Amino acid sequence: MRTCVGCRRRRPRPELVRLVAGASGAVILDIPARAPGRGAYLCRDSGMDCLRVALRRRSLSRSLRVGENVIDPETLGHQLSELAEEESPSPP
């Protein structure tokens, strides 16, 4: 069980997506959840909403121990929306 940094709900790990401060210092999505370093989790199904809450409360930067200037909300939002599109079932 992991906790979403946005909505603070505890969920099984497959229902969350991991974010990590990469080697370059930028915060990126870690889909396979194997990248080294400190990670934080957001809900997969409501990732954009949880991202907004986490940014507003500064819980994402606090849990990753990085400055807020390292987090690019537009890039993360785009990556989360692409992930949601990939996982949504296509109509028959």
What residues are paired with 18 via a beta bridge?
30, 41
- The count of structural domains within the chain is 1
pLDDT(92) > 70 = no
Residue 50 domain boundaries: 2-87
Residue pLDDT, tens place only, 11-50? 999 999 999 998 888 899 998 989 998 999 999 888 889 9
Residue 39 is assigned to a structural domain of this protein: yes
Within a domain: 92: no
- What is the domain-level CATH number for residue 32? 3.30.1230.10
Q: What is the pTM of this model?
A: 0.88
